[in-house]
Amino acid sequence: MLGSSLRRHRRAGFTLVELLVVIGIIALLISMLLPALNSARKQADRVKCLAALQQMGQAFVMYGNDNKGVWPASRHYIAAAPAATSPLTGATIPAGARDRRWHDMIAKYIHAKVEMNPIGTQNSTWETQMWSPEIRDGNSLLWGCPAWNRAIVNTSGTITINGAYYNGYLMNKFPLAPNDFVGGVPVQRNTNSVTTAATGVVTGSYFKQSKYTRASERALLTEAIHPYEMATYVWPFQPEKPTLVFPQRPTNNYTAPAFFTLDFNRHSKQAMGTSQTAPSMNVLYCDGHAGTASAREAFRAVRFD
């Protein structure tokens, strides 16, 4: 009786072969599920980014409501600014050049009454900045794309961590692209503005929202890989010219005309590189809607030529 009981007990266990089969089945199921889970994560990142862009678009509108319909400049540079007093701490700020960017101007409509970089020092000792901990690490909409790695990859492949004021989005500074006409002469007017501190003279333009032509097609904010403006109108890799090689990753080569700012691969299905027509980056348009565009569509939303 005892021997019979032991034999029945042994038959109830798994053999080594059966255990290996079960492990193999589990491994197969995991390998099948991982791509789906990764795709779902990318989809969630893309949707969260689109929601952040739309809310930043609403902040542009609120800024305009408070400023007679005028939208922020992409960058306002104050040359040789005199010493000033910080509105945050009351400390005396040394003289020197300063600048404010579009995200500084809309921040208070996103973070209730938080004036960001009000004097343009780019110094967190005196002012709340894009990279201040309460903004950068506070689940801020200004850092609204979870797929943005907050780093720059240069032409040699070196990765540089962004330290100052870049949140992975760039404002299109050409509201009248390809050209406006002044005195019958085509001019590429843009939203960069400069104040000469000694005289207070402002050059450059703040445009009214109504001046942004073809608003449903024109990009207001695009996903981009470095903080510098679209400083050249000659793009090195033009998607509409198939004979040119499309790069595997965007670069921050600062030697004109090699600025390549659009982060065309951020939401791509591929780890690196994408086709010119594959939806792979998010764009906020001037009419307030946001959508996922291909590199070709994003280029044209900026260039219109």
Q: What one-letter code names the amino acid at 113? A: K
CB proximity list for 138: less than 8 A, separation 6 or greater: none
Give yes or no for a contact between 266 and 280, defined as CB atoms under 8 angstroms apart: yes
From CA 74, how far away is CA 54, in angstroms rounded? 17
Q: What pLDDT does 113 receive?
A: 82
Does the structure show a pLDDT above 60 at 253?
Answer: no
Query: What does the alpha-carbon distance between residue 120 and residue 101 come to, in Å, rounded to a whole number?
Result: 8
Rounded-to-integer distance, Cα 223 and Cα 262, Å: 6
Of 73, 87, 53, 51, give the one whose Cα is nearest residue 193. 73
Written as six digits, the tokens of 290 are: 């946001």
pLDDT at 150: 64
Rounded to an integer, what is the distance from CA 208 to the centroid of its chain? 23
Alpha-helix runs per DSSP H in 188-272: none
pLDDT digits (tens, 9 = 90+) for 38-90: 778 888 999 999 999 999 999 999 999 999 999 999 889 888 888 888 887 88
Q: pLDDT per residue over 187-236, tens digit each?
A: 767 788 888 877 778 877 899 999 898 899 999 999 987 665 554 444 44
Going by C-alpha positions, the residue among 125, 81, 84, 123 that lies closest to residue 104 is 123
Output the pTM of the full model: 0.79
Locate the domains of the chain by residue range: 50-303
